[in-house]
Amino acid sequence: MIKIKLTFFLLLIYSVCFSQTSDLGRFSVNIDKGCVPLQVEIISENIDPSVTVVQYDFDYNLTNNLFNPSGSKSNIYSNEGKYIIAQAINQDGVEKIDILEIEAFNAEEINLDFFNCKNNKIEIILEDSYYDEYKLIIEGDSVGKLNSGSNEFDYSTYLGSREEINGFVIGMFGGSDLNCSRYNFRINPINDDKKEIIDSIVLSNDKLNFIIFYNLEESTNYNLLLNNSIDSTFLSPPSQLSINGEITVSNNSYVNRCITLNKVYKCSNQTIEDKLCLIYLDAYESKEGIEVEFNYFDEFDSIKIYRNDSSLISLYQKRNFFIDKNGILKGNEYCYRAVGFQGKKRSISNIVCVNSNKNFNPIKVPNAFSPNNDGLNDIFKPFYSNVSEYKMYIFNKFGEKVFESNDINIGWDGYFKGKIIQDSYVYKIEFNKDNEQVYINGKFLLIK
């Protein structure tokens, strides 16, 4: 007899604590805990047939016991908080009250880290305790509930012929997820072969920021490192990535040298690294020409220098300067940029512009020629350039004019008074280029 009574007592406690039934058991609701807007309905009543009046107050005040009857058996709670549903009945002329507490919660975002892993697995690190429970749904199926900390799941059975799967993690109160927040994801099986992550980096002209252009693999986790230190994980979570995109990074102190994007296989703690370094460029005029300096930390396969968007020279040995001393006209502006190539990746420097105060070989002139009829360098003349009003005069060491030409395509064959004399000669050239009258002179050697 005692055992029977004890069992009944335990069952009664279980019913009161976990059911959606009122304190005295006179009514039940569809839900007593959930996210707003929370719709609560009276779904059953357990009252004596002698009861003549049944009414409900969905926001009963236990302090003053004022009862405001509702004309309905349902109510929507739009704001978070605790509410009391009161049932008032009249039985044999006596009013009796039964109550049930309702809890309404805002739908807060779920705090978790999501990682797509190799071998068709995902890892979810739950760092949230707001909801009573958290449920994982993949392709409409309930996969399981999440525990605090690390949770690993295999999604192979959901792939089939699909190239991707969709799902979400949703919070629950009292076993209900209606209107609660969810964390959506879309993932693809990881392709181990894709190694190139960075496409290019471009340093702004003021060097205050740079843009990283990247090619990512869907559903994979990435970290961004600056100078080997993690700067941000805003490339994760994988469910929110665009495959091809760009990131603008602040560079106020000019200290950033190298950028690394790590592809992280969280479940196996494996990382694939792709690295590219910035090129900082400076340019200024010197006695020899316009000096272009470019500073960088790592090596490139080659560095190409551009002047006014045209390729000027490609450098294949590690160097950090170049002197531009050809084709430069006084009063003109020349803008320089360096591009470093590393495999398929490109590091593009800032642009620096210089206004030249001098002429530096506005047209390229050789410093020697050999008129021996071998078909190589038999004629002395400048390299062709698009100029007008061209004139060239050549003098020997005695000041005698040995040749003149009004056509840049017509040069000297080395003969003067019927002879070819090996010696040093002086040239004076004038022409009009880009509406500027230019005068240049120099020396060259005739070699027999």
Tens digit of each residue's pLDDT (9 = 90 or more) over 32-69: 999 999 999 999 999 999 998 999 999 999 999 999 99
Does any domain span residue 374?
yes
Q: What is the DSSP string of 330-366?
A: TT-EEEEEEEEEETTEEEE---EEEE-SS-B-SS---
In a domain, 386, yes or no: yes
Place of tokens 């805002």: 106
Single residue among 139, 163, 187 that ends a domain in this structure: 187
Query: What is the extent of the structural domain holding 302?
Result: 280-355
Contact 166, 238 (CB under 8 A): no
Taking the complete model, does pTM exceed 0.85, yes or no? no
Structural domain contains residue 193 = no
Query: Considering its fold, how many domains does the chain have in total?
Result: 5
| CB of 124 closer than 8 Å to CB of 143 | no
State the CATH number of the domain containing residue 99.
2.60.40.10
- Which positions ≥6 away from 125 have C-beta within 8 Å? 112, 113, 115, 149, 150, 151
Give residue for tokens 């950028």.
259
Q: How far is it, in rounded angstroms, from Cα 386 to Cα 371? A: 25
Q: Of 262, 278, 265, 298, which Cα lies nearest the Cα of 212?
A: 278
**What is the rounded CA–CA span in Å between residue 302 and residue 294?**
13
Residue 192 forms part of a structural domain: no
Residue 37 preceded by cis peptide, ω within 30: yes
**Tokens encoding 190:** 């990881």
Domain boundary among 277, 301, 323: 277
Tokens representing residue 193 in the block: 């072969």
Q: Which amino acid is at 46?
A: N
96 and 117 share a domain? no
Answer yes or no: do 399 and 347 share one domain: no
Residue 7 lies in a domain: no
DSSP state of 197: -
How far is it, in rounded angstroms, from Cα 319 to Cα 336? 16
Per-residue pLDDT tens digits for 203-261: 999 999 999 998 876 656 778 888 877 765 445 554 444 556 888 888 877 778 898 88
CB atoms closer than 10 angstroms to residue 368: 12
Number of C-alpha atoms within 13 angstroms, CB side, residue 332?
Answer: 18
Mark whether 119 and 97 lie in a shared domain: no
Residue that has been written with the tokens 């005695």 in this structure: 398
Query: Where does a domain end: 49, 80, 105?
Result: 105
Do 30 and 99 lie in one domain? The reply is yes
pLDDT in tens, 65-104: 999 999 999 999 999 999 999 999 999 889 999 999 999 9
